[in-house]
Amino acid sequence: MADHYFSAEPTSADNRRTVEARIWGRDYTFTTATGVFSRDRLDIGTAVLLREVQAPADGGTILDLGTGYGPIACALAVESPKAEVWAVDVNTRALDLTTENASRAGVGDRVHPALPDGVPDDLRFDEIWSNPAIHIGKPELHKMLLSWLPRLKPGGRAWLVVGKNLGADSLQRWLTENIHPTTRQASAKGFRILKLQAPS
């Protein structure tokens, strides 16, 4: 079976390259590799998320859910110098790349790449950012979101980017019905930006 970016241990050759990205007015160089999500460029959905939503200014504890090679986690840590960012993925190669990229960005001490089981059970988040792995299928996607989104602190919020043609509108309704109220904050290039707000 071919590797997917959500494979835990990619079996493909670890062929690495670098990609350039400009996020919140800063230029980044990220190392990517085969077997990880969007290895050839910053994913369009991720780019839309980072263009439409500004990093929190007051730091806090942030989760990047499905971090890939870590562009969201690295940029959040750079923009929010007091933030602790947990970068979670099931793909061990992605986590290795996130470690490398966070170090290059100068935030390796505040970006914590981890497998899902490596995050302390009692840790709660001020914000959750995610370009979720829609292609794992609806049951697994819902299971993942039910595991993580309720870990927002009171008053915390989550930002998700989802393709309109991949069920963004139905996911928005599901999130509101099953977790917390969710609104559409923006729509661009075929993607919806969803904001989920935990009650205070």
Does a structural domain hold residue 1? no
Does a structural domain hold residue 114? yes
Residue 9 pLDDT exceeds 60: no
Does a structural domain hold residue 7? no
What CATH number is given to the structural domain containing 72? 3.40.50.150
pLDDT tens digits, 125-170: 999 999 998 878 889 999 999 999 999 999 999 999 999 988 899 9
Higher pLDDT: 2 or 132? It is: 132
**Mean pLDDT for the chain overall:** 91
**How far is Cα of residue 53 from the mean position of the Cα atoms in its chain?**
13
How far apart, in whole angstroms, are the C-alpha atoms of residue 40 and residue 31? 10
Does a structural domain hold residue 177? yes
* pLDDT score, position 7: 47
Q: What is the dihedral of CA 157, 84, 94, 117, to 10 degrees?
A: -80
Within 8 A by CB and 6+ apart from 1, the residues are none
Q: Which amino acid is at 19?
A: V
Q: What value does the mean pLDDT take over residues 62-84?
A: 96
Closest CA to 108 of 73, 144, 72, 58: 73
Residue 37 pLDDT exceeds 80: no
* pLDDT score, position 10: 56
Residue 179 domain boundaries: 16-197
